[in-house]
Amino acid sequence: MTLKQALHFLLLSVLSLFLMSAGKADARTMKAIEKNMEHMKKPEKNLKKLAISKLYLTPKFYKDVVILQKAAAKLVKIKHPDKEFNDLSDELVEYLGKLSAAIKKKDSKKANEFWKDVKSICSDCHGAYKD
């Protein structure tokens, strides 16, 4: 191996290490995400139970949606280094807002649709980041 090839190999190795770390959150970011996920567990569990019975227009369902909205808004502020995480966080806030509006309008059909969208966004994010 020539000196030029060795330097080229070394440069590629360093570049690949840099690219592997791109998009990964630091410990502080991960701690903030985990903290928000903890705040989301109980209302999310309650919402799943109520959604099974299609009780979207109840005060309890609305209350838990509001709790999720607040936690999701905090996720947006975290600004994860990975664009996909930020996009999913923005989308979650958007669809929780739509869900909340549908509940206020007493539109059970729309609330059902938006609830499915919210669950899908959560699944996409947890699928990509493996909890």
**Model confidence pTM above 0.85:** no
Domain assignment present for 20: no
| Domain CATH for 106 | 1.20.120.10
Contact 72, 25 (CB under 8 A): no
Domain assignment present for 86: yes
State how far the Cα of 119 lies from the Cα of 81, in Å rounded to an integer.
23
Domain assignment present for 2: no
The dihedral built from the CA positions of residue 40, 90, 97 and 130, taken in this order, carries a sign that is negative
pLDDT at residue 86 greater than cutoff 80: yes
Average pLDDT over residues 60-89: 92
State how far the Cα of 84 lies from the Cα of 68, in Å rounded to an integer.
20
Domain assignment present for 15: no
User: Worst-scoring range by mean pLDDT, 6-15, 20-29, 95-104?
Assistant: 6-15
Give residue-wise pLDDT tens across range 29-52. Answer: 888 888 888 888 898 999 999 999
The mean of the pLDDT values for the chain is: 84
Domain assignment present for 41: yes
Domain assignment present for 108: yes
Domain assignment present for 78: yes
Domain assignment present for 57: yes
User: Can you tell me whether residue 130 is helix, strand or coil?
Assistant: coil
DSSP state of 105: T
pLDDT at res. 17: 42
Please tell me the total count of domains within the chain: 1
State which residues form the domain around 62. 25-129
pLDDT at res. 5: 67
pLDDT at res. 91: 96
